[in-house]
Amino acid sequence: MRTAGWRSYALYGCAILLCQPLAACGPAEKPAASTNEAAAANAAPAIPADAPLVIAFGDSLYAGYQLGPREGLAPQLQAALDADGVVARVQSAGVSGDTTAAGRQRLSYVLDNAKTKPALVLLGLGGNDMLRGIGPDQTRANLDAMLAELKKREIPVLLTGMVAAPNLGSDYAAKFNPIYPELAAKYDASFYPFILDNVVGKKELMLGDNIHPNAKGVTVVVDGLAPLVEDALPDAK
């Protein structure tokens, strides 16, 4: 399992303690695309209509909180796959503020309305459950239900994990932290243990709230995720 240093976790816990009343992962306006960003978008390689579909389904860490249109997880993952010669279409289905309960409610809608059956779903929820003090049993049940739905539809999953902030206490962490590795094993899902690994606690990679990554931080996240995505798409090269 990948682990960030205890110092990083401590900083993460302090940031969450300060920002908890804001529920941290709430919506925010995104800045308009710059001329350079528009040019970059126009220069991006054309994606075939029948390219495998990758849906990034999560909360604000997936939605690109306070980032430009090309800076969030989905567009940066798309760029990384393009650079590696992997043909796939990455669709963002991140909603800032989503809990696992909210994600569970909208998952079927997203899947039913996709233009084609996804070749892979990145699933990343649970951070807001932790911030709001929702019981880990509820978080587990909701994630389990979503993974069961994806398995029923025969859609492979890459599960991105979350860890409990230290200020929430050892009892909470003992119930929350095992959720992700245990469910990944149960459903034989690809697994990235901590979505903010090598990012949290580094000011140069975080927004001012010390909870969400900036564009450079997302790049670090994508560097870790892209190889797992590519392994899950063996026919996409």
Q: Are 91 and 53 in contact (CB under 8 A)?
A: yes
**How open is the CA angle 62-44-76, to the nearest 5 degrees?**
20
Active site residue 209: yes
Q: Are 210 and 10 in contact (CB under 8 A)?
A: no
Q: Which of 211, 218, 9, 20 is closest to 130 using CA atoms?
A: 20
Catalytic: which of 92, 96, 197, 212? Answer: 212
Q: Is the dihedral of CA 183, 3, 1, 122 positive or negative?
A: positive
Catalytic: which of 8, 59, 60, 92? Answer: 60
Active site residue 197: no
Active site residue 60: yes
Radius of gyration of the chain (CA): 17
Which residues are designated catalytic? 60, 209, 212
